[in-house]
Amino acid sequence: MGARINLFFAWFLIPQTLLMGWVAVCGRMLLEILGLSTTEGDIPGRLVGSLLLFGAVYLVLYFRQSLPPEGNPAGKGYKTGQRLVLAANLLGGLFVVFQYTFPLIADANVHLLLDGFTNAFGYWAMAVWVVGFSFLYQSALPAQQA
């Protein structure tokens, strides 16, 4: 069950990290359609976009019963892959949380420093997701005979 949750959050955080602006625009458009006045880059638009993305990933999980790569828990590299995906989820989560809370930071120097670190977290998260997914995919492959 923990592996499914780990992959679910990976598939939620990947588009959230890569397409954060587009996710916010989708949320903002929905709020505008409902008659609420919003500004570009505001928190309500980001939250609604994130909820829409969360729902879309959940629908894929619900109809497919799993999210790729499924992996084989008995396969070589499965645990390493799950740990790497979890580490990437933590880095990506820090990046996303900062994007929601940056208006609360009053000091420009602190904001600049945290922005640099969290942007690096986003880039590192992408690399670690790739490696983690590679291990998960490889764990599902049949063992080769020598």
Tell me, letter by letter, the H, E, C secondary structure of the chain: CHHHHHHHHHHHHHHHHHCHHHHHHHHHHHHHHCCCCCCCCCHHHHHHHHHHHHHHHHHHHHHHCCCCCCCCCCCCCHHHHHHHHHHHHHHHHHHHHHHHHHHHCCCHHHHHHHHHHHHHHHHHHHHHHHHHHHHHHHHHCCCCCC
pLDDT for 102 equals: 83
At 66-84, the pLDDT tens digits run 888 888 888 889 999 999 9
Tell me the whole-structure pTM to 2 decimals.
0.88
pLDDT for 109 equals: 93
Q: What residue spans define the domains of the chain?
A: 2-140
CA dihedral for 59, 48, 19, 1, sign (positive or negative): negative
What does the pLDDT profile of the chain (146 residues) look like in tens digits? 688 999 999 999 999 999 988 998 999 999 999 998 888 778 888 999 999 999 999 999 999 988 888 888 888 899 999 999 999 999 999 999 998 888 888 999 998 998 888 888 889 999 999 999 999 999 888 777 65
